[in-house]
Amino acid sequence: MKKVTIHEIARALEIDSSTVSRALNDSNRVKKITKDRILEKAKELGYKRNMLASNLRKNVSNTIGVVLPRVSRHFFSTAIAGIENVAQQHGFNVIISQSLEQLEKEELIINNLITNRVDGIIISVSMETKKGEHLKNIIESGIPLVFFDRHIKDFQNTGKVLIDDELGGFLATEHLIKCGCKKIAHFSGPQDIEVYRNRLSGYQKALEKNSLIYDKNYTFSSRLMETDGIAMAEKLLTELKDVDAAFFANDVSAIAAIKYLKKAGKNIPEDIAIIGFSNEPISEIIEPSLTTIDQSGEEIGRLACELLIQNIKKGNKVLNNETVILNPTLIQRDSTKSN
Amino acid sequence: MKKVTIHEIARALEIDSSTVSRALNDSNRVKKITKDRILEKAKELGYKRNMLASNLRKNVSNTIGVVLPRVSRHFFSTAIAGIENVAQQHGFNVIISQSLEQLEKEELIINNLITNRVDGIIISVSMETKKGEHLKNIIESGIPLVFFDRHIKDFQNTGKVLIDDELGGFLATEHLIKCGCKKIAHFSGPQDIEVYRNRLSGYQKALEKNSLIYDKNYTFSSRLMETDGIAMAEKLLTELKDVDAAFFANDVSAIAAIKYLKKAGKNIPEDIAIIGFSNEPISEIIEPSLTTIDQSGEEIGRLACELLIQNIKKGNKVLNNETVILNPTLIQRDSTKSN
DNA sequence: TAAAAAAATACAATCGATTGTATTTTGTTG
DNA sequence: CAACAAAATACAATCGATTGTATTTTTTTA
What CATH superfamily classification does B165-295 receive? Response regulator (3.40.50.2300)
Give dist(CA A162, CA A151) in Å, integer. Answer: 8
Give dist(CA B155, CA B162) in Å, integer. Answer: 14
Characterise B100 by phi-psi region: left (phi > 0), alpha (psi -120 to 50), beta (else).
Answer: left
Confidence (pLDDT) at B131: 87
The answer to whether the beta carbon of residue A32 comes closer than 7 angstroms to any atom of strand D is yes
Mean pLDDT lowest among A309-313, A319-323, B140-144 = A319-323
- Secondary structure, 3-state, A129-169: CCCCHHHHHHHHCCCCEEEECCCCCCCCCCEEEEECHHHHH
Cα R_g (chain B), whole angstroms: 26
Whether the per-residue pLDDT at A67 is higher than 70: the answer is yes
Q: How far is A70 from chain B (nearest CA, A)?
A: 9
The answer to whether the beta carbon of residue A9 comes closer than 7 angstroms to any atom of strand D is no
The answer to whether the beta carbon of residue B54 comes closer than 7 angstroms to any atom of strand D is yes
- Tens of pLDDT along A113-139? 999 899 999 999 999 998 889 999 999
Confidence (pLDDT) at B77: 87
Residues A178, A184, A188, A192, CA torsion sign:
positive
CB atoms within 10 A of CB B132: 23
B114/A48 CB distance under 8 A: yes
Confidence (pLDDT) at B316: 66
The CATH classification number of B6-49 equals 1.10.260.40
B interface residues, A as partner, C-beta within 8 Å: 1-2, 46, 48-53, 55-56, 61, 70-72, 74, 77-78, 80, 84, 93-98, 111-112, 114-117, 137, 140-142, 255, 259, 281-282, 285-287, 316
B52/A61 CB distance under 8 A: yes
The answer to whether the beta carbon of residue A5 comes closer than 7 angstroms to any atom of strand D is no
* Intrachain domains A62-163+297-327 and A165-295 with the same fold: yes
Residue A87's contacts (CB-CB under 8 Å, 6 or more residues apart) are A64, A93, A94, A305, A309
Average pLDDT in the A294-310 region?
Answer: 95
Q: 3-state DSSP call for residue A145?
A: strand
Q: Which nucleotides of D are covered by protein (CB under 7 A)?
A: 7-20
Confidence (pLDDT) at A339: 63
Confidence (pLDDT) at A130: 87
| pLDDT band at A218; cut points 50, 70, 90 | very high
Residue B132's contacts (CB-CB under 8 Å, 6 or more residues apart) are B125, B152, B155
Class of domain A62-163+297-327: alpha beta
DSSP-derived secondary structure letter, A39? H
Q: Quick one: what percent of chain A has pLDDT higher than 70?
A: 99
Give dist(CA B171, CA B165) in Å, integer. Answer: 10
Q: Domain residues of chain B, as ranges?
A: 6-49, 62-163+297-326, 165-295
Give dist(CA A311, CA A161) in Å, integer. Answer: 14
Give dist(CA B313, CA B160) in Å, integer. Answer: 17
Q: 3-state DSSP call for residue A141?
A: coil
Minimum CA–CA partner of B92 in chain A: A112
- Tens of pLDDT along B100-115? 989 999 999 999 999 9
Q: What is the pTM of this model?
A: 0.87
The answer to whether the beta carbon of residue B33 comes closer than 7 angstroms to any atom of strand C is yes
Average pLDDT in the B36-58 region?
Answer: 95
Mean predicted lDDT score pLDDT of chain A: 93
Residues of chain B positioned with their CB less than 8 A from the CB of A84: 98
Give dist(CA B188, CA B253) in Å, integer. Answer: 10
Nearest nucleotide to B52 by CA–C1' distance? D16
- Interface residue of A6, A24, A51 to substitute, partner B, most B CBs within 10 Å: A51
The answer to whether the beta carbon of residue A285 comes closer than 7 angstroms to any atom of strand C is no
Contact pairs from chain A to chain B, CB under 8 Å: 101
Give dist(CA A274, CA A331) in Å, integer. Answer: 13
Give dist(CA A275, CA A291) in Å, integer. Answer: 5
Confidence (pLDDT) at B321: 87
Mean predicted lDDT score pLDDT of chain B: 93
Q: How far is A142 from chain B (nearest CA, A)?
A: 6
More confident site: A74 or A213: A213
Give dist(CA A301, CA A305) in Å, integer. Answer: 6
| pLDDT band at B1; cut points 50, 70, 90 | low
Give dist(CA A146, CA A313) in Å, integer. Answer: 14
Reported as type and span, the H/E element at residue A6 is helix A6-13
| pLDDT band at B171; cut points 50, 70, 90 | very high
- Tens of pLDDT along B242-292? 999 999 999 999 999 999 999 999 999 999 999 999 999 889 989 999 999
Give dist(CA B36, CA B34) in Å, integer. Answer: 5
B335 close to B275: Cβ distance less than 8 angstroms: yes
Give dist(CA A248, CA A226) in Å, integer. Answer: 12
Strand order across the B219-221 sheet: B219-221, B184-188, B245-248, B273-275
Whether the per-residue pLDDT at B27 is higher than 60: the answer is yes
- A224 CA, D24 C1': separation in Å? 64
Q: Which of residues 6-65 of A touch strand C (CB under 7 A)?
A: 6-7, 17-18, 21-22, 24-25, 47, 49-50, 53-54, 56-58
Alpha-carbon separation of residue B261 from B180, B246, B265, B283 (angstroms): 20, 12, 6, 16
More confident site: A261 or A91: A261
Amino acid (one-letter) located at A179: C
Whether the per-residue pLDDT at B339 is higher than 90: the answer is no
| pLDDT band at A192; cut points 50, 70, 90 | confident
Characterise B59 by phi-psi region: left (phi > 0), alpha (psi -120 to 50), beta (else).
Answer: left
Amino acid (one-letter) located at B44: E
Reported as type and span, the H/E element at residue A127 is none
Whether the per-residue pLDDT at B130 is higher than 90: the answer is no
Confidence (pLDDT) at B320: 86
Residues of chain A positioned with their CB less than 8 A from the CB of B70: 77
A95/B98 CB distance under 8 A: no
Q: How far is B286 from chain A (nearest CA, A)?
A: 6
Q: Quick one: what percent of chain B has pLDDT higher than 70?
A: 99
| pLDDT band at A201; cut points 50, 70, 90 | very high
Give dist(CA B210, CA B205) in Å, integer. Answer: 9
Give dist(CA A291, CA A302) in Å, integer. Answer: 26
Q: Helix B17-24 to helix B6-13 angle, to the nearest 10 degrees? A: 110
A interface residues, B as partner, C-beta within 8 Å: 1-2, 46, 48-53, 55-56, 61, 70-72, 74, 77-78, 80, 84, 93-98, 111-112, 114-117, 137, 140-142, 255, 259, 281-282, 285-287, 316
The CATH classification number of B62-163+297-326 equals 3.40.50.2300
Whether the per-residue pLDDT at B127 is higher than 90: the answer is no
Residues of chain A positioned with their CB less than 8 A from the CB of B141: 2, 48
Whether the per-residue pLDDT at A2 is higher than 80: the answer is no
Which among B52, B78, B282 is the nearest to A282, CB-wise? Answer: B282
Average pLDDT in the A8-18 region?
Answer: 96
Minimum CA–CA partner of B3 in chain A: A141
Confidence (pLDDT) at A316: 66
